[in-house]
Amino acid sequence: MAGIKDIAERAGASIATVSRVINGSGYVAAATRARVEAAIAESGYRPNAGARLMRTAESRMIGLLLPALDLHFFGILAHEVEQALSARGYRALICSTDEDPAREEEYVAALLAQRVDGMLAVSVTADSRAFARLLAAGVPVVGIDRALPGLGADVVKADHAMGLRIAAEHVLALGHRRIAIVGAPGHSAPIQERLAGARDALAAAGVEPVDVRIGPVHSFEACRDLVLAMLDAGHRPTAILGTTDIAAIGAIHACAMRGLAVPGDVSVTGFDDLPAARYVMPQLTTVAHPYRAIARHAVAVLLARIAGTEPPVAAPEVTALALVARGTTAAPKA
């Protein structure tokens, strides 16, 4: 018998759209709905009665899947989501996958068993098959900070490539040409997008990075060690672009350990504008990432999907990125 994926392919629609038609759980354009209903009729598809019955009573619980909780960025996301949900009478079930795709799949199964009304997900990988199970069961899914490829699910995120492009253009405008890029984790889609944005900006200026170090572990110590290895290899940039604030702070410490002044010898930039960016000395030049607004808007979108109403459109400031110039960047020495 045909499944929901077969219906989606036959109708030329996403799995999320087919799920909304089957479950009557959200807005679908009339023409698209007609195609999906025709595909259902042609294939003889019958919805899973047990899954439909499971969705008839609200649990008032929302799953929140994060790659980590020991990083300040994800801790703040969790706080903003929990507060926004609580204000609307929902409870958050917060799960940390520890950057492990297998653990992500296990949590999806567990949250299905808990009968969550919806899911907010910062996915570990680009493989969205685990989340397709939620959509097939009529559970709306909204991605935060990164896309969920192939699902057609709502996503609330900033333009990561633009973020590091802004940082690269800043140090280029200061006159830097010996520029390195450092960060982690390499498997993260946002990090890959940021790396691509920095490379594009440098290439447009006719500049090749003197070194690129993208490691597997995103921690202060790991990023510090990436920069130490770069400096010890004889690569001496006059500017370092950190893919995150954590990477940038690690770079500042590595420079200090090798007797290099920031920004006198090396300028450093970050990405996110975490509270820690203002605590280091000198204060970190970074790209402000509106992650708090993104978290709150993602909640609003998800609850609209649960209610079967059209989700709100994000205001420009929800995903806007901006350079915050502080004390870690300056023109290179003559």
pLDDT for 124 equals: 75
Say if 106 falls within a structural domain: yes
Nearest to 143 by CA among 132, 158, 159, 157: 157
24 and 128 share one domain: no
Same domain, 165 and 258: yes
Residue 95 within any structural domain of the chain: yes
* 311, part of any domain: no
- Reduced to 3 states (helix: H, G, I; strand: E, B; else coil), residue 70 is coil
pLDDT for 293 beyond 60: yes
Determine the pLDDT at residue 130. Answer: 77
Confidence of residue 26 (pLDDT cuts 50, 70, 90): low
The answer to the question of residue 323 being in a domain is no
Q: Is residue 299 part of a domain?
A: no
Q: Evaluate whether residue 129 is within a structural domain.
A: yes
- With 90 as the cut, is the pLDDT of residue 32 above it? no
In tens, the pLDDT along 33-80 reads 778 877 876 776 665 544 544 455 678 899 999 998 888 999 999 999
For residue 153, what pLDDT band results from cuts at 50, 70 and 90? confident
CATH number of the domain residue 199 falls in = 3.40.50.2300
Q: What is the pLDDT of residues 237-284, one digit of tens each?
A: 999 999 999 999 999 999 999 999 999 999 999 999 999 999 999 999
Select the more confidently predicted residue: 135 or 258: 258
pLDDT the model gives residue 254: 98
Helices 72-87/291-307 angle, 10° precision:
40
Amino acid found at 206 = G
- The reply to whether 310 falls in a domain is no
Please return the burial class of 107, using the count of CB atoms within 10 Å of its CB with bins 0-12, 13-18 and 19+: buried
Q: Where are the alpha helices (DSSP H) in 188-240?
A: 189-204, 220-232
As a whole number of Å, the CA-based R_g of the chain is 22
Report which of residues 4 and 235 the model is more confident about. Answer: 235
Question: Where are any strands of DSSP class E within the chain?
Answer: 61-66, 91-96, 118-121, 141-144, 154-156, 179-183, 211-214, 239-242, 267-272, 285-288, 322-324
% of the chain exceeding 70 in pLDDT:
93
Indicate if 284 and 189 belong to the same structural domain: yes
pLDDT over 80 (residue 115): yes
Domain count, the chain: 3
Residues 166 and 278 in one domain: yes
> Is 235 among the domain residues?
yes
pLDDT confidence of residue 113: 81
Most confident range, picked from 17-26, 136-145, 190-199, 302-311: 190-199
CA distance 245 to 38: 51
Identify whether residues 195 and 272 lie together within a single domain: yes
pLDDT of residue 196 exceeding 70, the answer is yes
Region 100-110 average pLDDT: 86
Residues 126 and 242 in one domain: no
Whether pLDDT at 126 is above 80:
no
Query: Quick one: 67 and 142 in the same domain?
Result: yes
What is the C-alpha separation between 129 and 105, in angstroms, rounded? 9
Do 121 and 229 lie in one domain? The reply is: no
Q: Which CATH number belongs to the domain containing residue 12 in this structure? A: 1.10.260.40
Question: What pLDDT is recorded for position 112?
Answer: 83
Question: Mean pLDDT across the stretch 89-101?
Answer: 89
* 37 and 87 co-located in one domain: no
Q: Is the pLDDT of residue 316 over 60?
A: yes
- Predicted local distance difference test score (pLDDT) of residue 49: 47
Q: Is 76 exposed, middle or buried (0-12, 13-18, 19+ CB in 10 A)?
A: middle
Those residues with Cβ within 8 angstroms of residue 314's Cβ, 6 or more apart along the chain or in another chain: 156, 297
Q: Domain containing 33: what range? A: 1-47
Q: Are residues 74 and 144 in the same domain?
A: yes
166 and 249 assigned to the same domain: yes
| Residue-level pLDDT at 53 | 44
Mean pLDDT of the chain: 89
